[in-house]
Structure 1
Amino acid sequence: MNRTATALLAVVIAAAGLTACGSDDKDGSKSAAKTPPPAAAPSTPVSPTPADKPLASAEAKNGVPPKPDAATQAKYIRALDAISPAIVNGKEDRAVSRGRDTCGTIHSFPNDRAKQVDTTRQRFSGATQFNAVQAEKILAAVQTHLCPKN
């Protein structure tokens, strides 16, 4: 018997035992026994399901590449840090996510470099505002490392 079935069986037996027992109150009536909340099922690692595939395929259709491998990510982060350390600012996952989204912008507006640069400037600006020259360099780093096919 697997662990989930064993845990469920234990909860059912415990609940049945508690409902069979009652206690007499001062007035002689029986009060309902309180059933404890069911035990949580043991956690198991979640593996990617076919339901995750539509998201990946929708991203790919929109020009958003998969997450880069460690070596590619390291090169990308170094390229951004060379432009300005304020771009990554210790938040590599955010920089990668923004870069992947920028690949989508490049894909969506392949003939509009001004739109690509402006969207990149806005996407990467936060506490630090980047100018068009910096955004052009960020865009080049994104294209080189994350979406060279765009």
Structure 2
Amino acid sequence: MTTGYGENRVRRTATALSAVLIAASGLTACGSDKDSSTDAKKSAPPTAASSAPAAPATTQKPVAEAEARAGIPPKPDAAAQAAYVRALNAISPTIVNGKEDRAVSRGRDTCGTLHSFPKDHAKVVDTTRQRFSGAEQFNTAQAEKILTAVQTHLCPKN
């Protein structure tokens, strides 16, 4: 029996990656009508530091921009992550279960759900319940608490 959740997550991931690839290809295809040879004469020659490949930054920027448009915040700093993990552990130690990165990823995805369904609290709570349930199935009251922890520590603007 499948819940469809995994299929939806795969579909969302594939859609986000497609959007990033399309955006990245659009950026590389963009050109300028200006003659670049005059600009090159005005600027200083590249230094070793400026000629270093910038692939990781350019690859990460479109992903971060796509996530921001979807309401997914950047990864929290160490202090915010620690506070978030403490809040989840106070609800149930099985939520994090030693897998902090997974808990943060699920929380960030929940921020995206909040962004996508701002007027459907019941849907957001049910999605949160499903997203965080694993070995332990959480009830609606626990999902509300998880949602509060997510909003407080990961996406207070949502």
2:133 aligned with 1:106, yes or no? no
Match of 1:115 among 98, 108, 123: 123
Distance (whole Å) between structure 2 residues aligned to residue 66 and residue 49 of structure 1: 14
Counterpart for residue 91 of structure 1: 99
C-alpha distance in 2 between matches for 1:61 and 1:148? 16
Q: What TM-score, normalized to structure 1?
A: 0.68
Q: 5+ unaligned residues in a row in structure 2: which ranges?
A: 1-53
Aligned to 1:63: 71
- Distance (whole Å) between structure 2 residues aligned to residue 75 and residue 103 of structure 1: 17
2: distance between equivalents of 1:82 and 1:49? 36
Deviations 1:84-121 (A, max 9, x none): 00100110000000000000000000011000000000
CA RMSD in angstroms comes to: 1.7
Gaps spanning 5+ residues in structure 1: where? 1-45
User: What CA deviation, in whole Å up to 9, does each residue of 1:63-85 have, x standing for no partner?
Assistant: 00000000000000000000000
Q: List, as ranges, runs of 4+ consecutive aligned residues in structure 1 with deviation greater than 6 Å.
A: none
Q: 2-side partners of 1:66 and 1:123: how far apart? A: 19
Aligned to 2:132: 124
- Partner of 1:136 in structure 2? 144
Query: Which structure is higher in helix share?
Result: 2
Q: CA deviation at 1:47?
A: 6.4
Which string of whole-angstrom CA distances, capped at 9 and with x for unpartnered residues, describes residues 17-63 of structure 1?
xxxxxxxxxxxxxxxxxxxxxxxxxxxxx862312211110000000
Q: Residue type matched to 1:64 in 2?
A: I
Residue 36 of structure 1 is matched in structure 2 by none
- 1:132 maps to a residue whose letter is T
Task: Tell me which structure has the larger Cα radius of gyration.
Answer: 1
Aligned residues: percent identity?
A: 77
Distance in 2, matches of 1:92 and 1:72, equals 12
Q: State the partner residue of 1:54.
A: 62
State the TM-score, normalizing by the size of structure 2. Answer: 0.65
Task: Determine helix, strand or coil for the equivalent of 1:71.
Answer: helix
Distance in 1, Cα, partners of 2:117 & 2:69: 14
Tell me: CA distance 1:70–1:47, structure 2 relative to 1, closer, same or farther (3 Å).
farther
